[in-house]
Amino acid sequence: MKSVFQSFVSYLLCDWVASIGAIVTTTSAVIFLTFAFQGFSNPYYGIVVFLVFPAFFVLGLILVPAGVWRCSKRRGGLRNIPSVDVTGPAAIRFFGLLGLLTVINVAIVSAGTYTSVKYMDSQQFCGRVCHVMTPQYTAYQDSAHSRVECVSCHVGPGAAWFVHYKLSGIHQAFAVTFRTYDRPIHAGNRSLRPSADTCEQCHWPEKFQGDKLKVLKKYEEDAHNTEKITVLMMHVGTRIHKAHVGKNIEYIAADTERHDLPWVSANGVVYKSRDIAGERRKMDCIDCHNRPTHAFDMPATAVDAALESGELDRTIPYLKRDAVLQLMGKKPIEEAQPAVKRIYARNIFPEMMVSWGTYPNNIGHDLFPGCFRCHDDNHKNDSGKAITQDCSTCHELVAVSEENPEILKQLGAK
Ligand code: HEC
Ligand code: HEC
Ligand code: HEC
Ligand code: HEC
Ligand code: HEC
């Protein structure tokens, strides 16, 4: 036994390539085994633990026979490799030093890889270096998620998805270099990762509860920019989330944009508006919240928001009407108020062919079909029951387009 070990060590020490191979393999194996079984939520660890260390491990395994081969070639055969003494203080010092150096090396290399990967996944890199994403980055900075990193939604934790997205990243880098990307760009053929692994890492569905009062202010296109208020009691936690989140709802889309959903099933009961075959997809957060961070406005809603916030002065006659015309290109935008120009720059990106309505928002049903893609009274099951469009299913219409809703006075909100 001792002699087998001794000749093995002799082989390793005979050529520096083999020695380095052995050290690299051992240390990367040790580090891999230490980290691989620890839970981690940060996707960057994926590449370090599951790609860098195994790569070093394999590299080491290749270096060992390569070194032995070099040595045996030099000496004219394996038999002529001199056997070394593996005991004694000199040997201990030698192995100790080599071990220490390797640990330091691997640590430096992995830290270097870690920082560069982290940089490539940072919002600066994703949003700014990669100029084709300017529209998404602009909207992102203006959203509730502007402190959430791109990869929290686009990659999520775990090694397999990390590799999946890195490979598609290489493809995308080519597309950007050779300008073969789609304009406007779409979310990887609509194949964003299931939201249980992304959104639900921060938003815990068990904690969704309660209704939410929504006060929506709009302005007429008249001389006074008259304010009209709609008050909705949204059954967010009590019905909307309850009816879909954690329920087995599937659909088949007739288009890649998922606007036309003729076939829906809820826990096995099929509701359809017409027959269609195709891939079934499980409904998740993103089917409603498709614009949680890259939300683009429509002209009238954007102007309403600026009038509500006071950024646009409501006392200027016909301001709402004129601002909308300027944003639509029917009046010169050069003559517009700074706030209107800002709305334009926030939403229109000619170089990426992003314009009004390029990216519809599926929450609601006012400007885009949204909920009514399914809740249209047209998707029926075998017994003729439809996915409901009843107006008080999702919200109570407490006030609709009123100038002074009574309810706001009662609530002390006016
Ligand atoms: C809160 C989650 C979230 C964050 C954070 C996020 N995205 Fe997105 N992103 C999405 C969703 C959801 C979609 C749309 C998926 C769909 O429509 O199917 C999307 C779509 C996209 C698209 C495709 C074009 C489009 O608008 O549909 C690009 C490009 C994109 N994101 C880039 C980024 C960049 C760059 C960042 C960081 C600066 C980022 N995203 C941060 C959730 C997110
Ligand atoms: C890294 C954590 C994180 C992830 C991942 C995340 N969110 Fe959020 N989300 C937040 C935070 C923080 C807020 C802001 C809360 C606030 O402002 O009160 C927020 C706010 C929201 C809101 C309210 C938005 C608004 O404009 O008021 C919605 C809706 C939402 N997230 C949906 C999603 C969806 C859908 C996904 C997955 C595509 C997602 N989130 C992923 C942390 C996250
Ligand atoms: C059937 C469509 C639908 C699905 C599926 C859905 N939501 Fe929502 N969600 C809504 C609507 C509608 C609102 C209320 C929006 C509003 O009017 O403010 C909302 C509100 C929210 C809010 C803000 C909560 C608040 O009280 O202000 C968060 C956060 C959120 N959703 C996260 C999620 C996450 C995470 C998932 C997936 C687990 C999800 N939603 C699935 C429709 C949906
Ligand atoms: C992919 C299709 C689809 C979309 C899109 C969709 N729903 Fe639903 N929804 C369903 C199905 C299916 C049911 C369950 C019907 C049943 O079991 O009777 C349902 C049930 C509901 C219920 C419970 C109804 C009841 O009778 O209690 C509410 C509330 C609801 N949805 C709100 C929304 C809102 C709000 C949106 C848009 C933000 C939306 N849904 C978008 C398919 C959809
Ligand atoms: C499947 C759920 C659902 C049904 C059914 C439904 N709504 Fe809505 N409705 C919504 C959601 C979600 C919003 C968006 C609230 C927001 O702006 O965040 C909304 C918004 C509205 C608004 C405000 C739109 C705006 O921006 O001014 C009105 C008005 C409205 N609904 C009326 C109706 C009427 C009338 C019906 C019956 C024909 C109806 N809704 C049926 C889910 C529903």
29 plus 169 within the same structural domain: no
User: Among all chains, which residue has been given the structure tokens 């990243």?
Assistant: 169
Q: Relative to the CA of 148, which ligand 1 atom is closest?
A: 5
| 325 is a domain residue | no
Residues 391 and 363 in one domain: yes
Q: Cis (ω within 30 of 0) for the bond into 184?
A: yes
pLDDT at residue 399 greater than cutoff 70: yes
Query: Which has more confidence, 53 or 361?
Result: 361
Average pLDDT over the chain, rounded to whole? 85
Task: Summarize the confidence of residues 172-196 as an average pLDDT.
Answer: 69
**Residue span of the structural domain in which 222 resides:** 212-294+359-410
The two three-digit tokens of residue 147, written as one number: 């402190």
Residues 390 and 255 in one domain: yes
Q: What separation in Å is there between the alpha carbon of 102 and the centre of ligand 4? A: 58
Same-domain status, 30 and 114: yes
Identify the H or E element spanning 151: helix 150-154
Residues 185 and 250 in one domain: no
What is each CA distance from 121 to 46, 150, 157, 283, 359, in whole angstroms? 12, 7, 13, 27, 24
Least confident of 169-173, 255-259, 279-283: 169-173
- 220 is a domain residue: yes
Which of 275, 282, 211, 280 shows the shortest CA–CA distance to 242? 211
- What's the number of domains the chain is made of? 3
pLDDT over 60 (residue 375) = yes
Percentage of the chain beyond pLDDT 70 is 81
Over pLDDT 90: what percentage of the chain? 51
State residue 397's pLDDT score: 96
Q: Same domain, yes or no, for 134 and 248? A: no
Residue 47 in any domain: the answer is yes
Q: Using most ligand atoms within 8 A of CB, pick from 211, 212, 391, 398 the residue to mutate for ligand 5.
A: 391
Indicate whether 92 and 103 sit together in one domain.
Answer: yes
What does residue 160 show for φ and ψ, rounded to 5 degrees? -60, -45
Residue 162: which pLDDT band, with cuts at 50, 70 and 90? low
The verdict on residue 311 lying in a domain is no
Q: Given 161, 192, 223, which residue is the final one in a domain? A: 192
Confidence of residue 187 (pLDDT cuts 50, 70, 90): low
Do 376 and 250 fall into the same domain? yes
In the three-class reduction of DSSP (H, G, I as helix; E, B as strand; rest coil), residue 51 is classed as: helix
Better-predicted residue by pLDDT, 46 or 261: 261
User: Per-residue confidence at 129, pLDDT binned at 50, 70, 90?
Assistant: low
- Residue of 236, 241, 248, 249 to mutate, ligand 4, most atoms within 8 A of C-beta: 249
| Residue of the CA atom closest to atom 43 of ligand 1 | 153
Residue 394 domain-assigned?
Answer: yes
- Ligand 3 site, residue 106, Cβ cutoff 6 A: no
- One domain, residues 116 and 135: no
Q: Which residue has the higher pLDDT, 223 or 4?
A: 223
Q: Is the pLDDT of residue 119 over 80?
A: no
pLDDT tens digit sequence for 310-357: 999 999 999 999 999 999 999 999 999 999 999 999 999 998 999 999
The confidence score (pLDDT) of residue 87 equals 73
Comparison of pLDDT for 345 and 91, the residue scoring more = 345
Regarding whether 116 and 53 lie in a shared domain, the answer is yes
Residue 261 lies in a domain: yes
User: Are 274 and 129 in the same domain?
Assistant: no
φ/ψ (deg, to 5) at 96: -60, -50
Q: Is residue 322 within 8 Å of 104, Cβ to Cβ?
A: no
Is 129 domain-assigned? yes
Element (H, E) at 363: none
C-beta of 126 in contact with ligand 1 (< 6 A) = yes
Best substitution site from 241, 394, 396, 401 to test ligand 5's pocket, by max atoms within 8 Å of Cβ?
394
> Is 285 touching ligand 3 by the criterion CB < 6 Å?
yes
Query: Does some domain include residue 217?
Result: yes
Q: Which of 192, 221, 250 is where one domain is finished?
A: 192
Of 63, 93, 121, the one marking the end of a domain is 121
Same domain assignment for residues 84 and 230: no
